[in-house]
């Protein structure tokens, strides 16, 4: 059970969220019914890290710095994602415990390149 980003096993996040991104149009008919045409659907995965070590944060930062589409997959028992091409973003980092360890908190945001 692991999270793999660009072929590297990364630290398990403290929380994870999956959002659907749809390219769609809603249309209301004369009779009042709403119709929805979905032309594409893909997902955004938000992995939250709390008090992550500098070493683990640097691993994620190195992948982010590639400025390229990378692969992501999860083999968690209750959250399985087959290998998907994703764009990598890192939200703002909070340093709750500055000092020699520099533990930080941030979100790793992975947006699928292609529709599912």
CATH of the domain at 53: 2.40.30
- How many domains, in total, are found in the chain? 1
Tokens at 2, concatenated: 């692991």
DSSP type of residue 112: E
pLDDT of amino acid 97? 66
Helix residue ranges per DSSP H, the chain: 54-64
**How many Cβ atoms are within 10 Å of 105's Cβ, its own excluded?**
18
pLDDT of amino acid 18? 95
Per residue in 71-82, pLDDT tens? Answer: 999 999 888 999
Question: Is pLDDT at 98 greater than 80 in this prediction?
Answer: no
Per residue in 42-71, pLDDT tens? Answer: 999 999 999 898 899 999 999 999 999 999
DSSP type of residue 6: T
Question: Is pLDDT at 99 greater than 90 in this prediction?
Answer: no
Structural domain for 72, as ranges: 3-112
């Amino acid at each position: 059970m692991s999270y793999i980003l660009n072929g590297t096993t990364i630290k398990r996040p403290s929380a994870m969220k999956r959002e659907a991104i749809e390219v769609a149009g809603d249309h209301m008919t004369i009779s009042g019914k709403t119709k929805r045409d979905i032309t594409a659907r893909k997902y955004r995965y938000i992995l939250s890290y709390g008090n992550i070590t500098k070493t683990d944060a640097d691993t994620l930062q190195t992948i982010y710095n590639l400025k390229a589409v990378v692969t992501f997959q999860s083999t968690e028992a209750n959250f399985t994602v087959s290998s998907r091409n994703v764009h990598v973003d890192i939200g703002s980092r909070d340093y709750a415990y500055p000092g020699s360890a520099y533990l930080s908190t941030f979100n790793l945001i992975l947006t699928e390149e292609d529709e599912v």
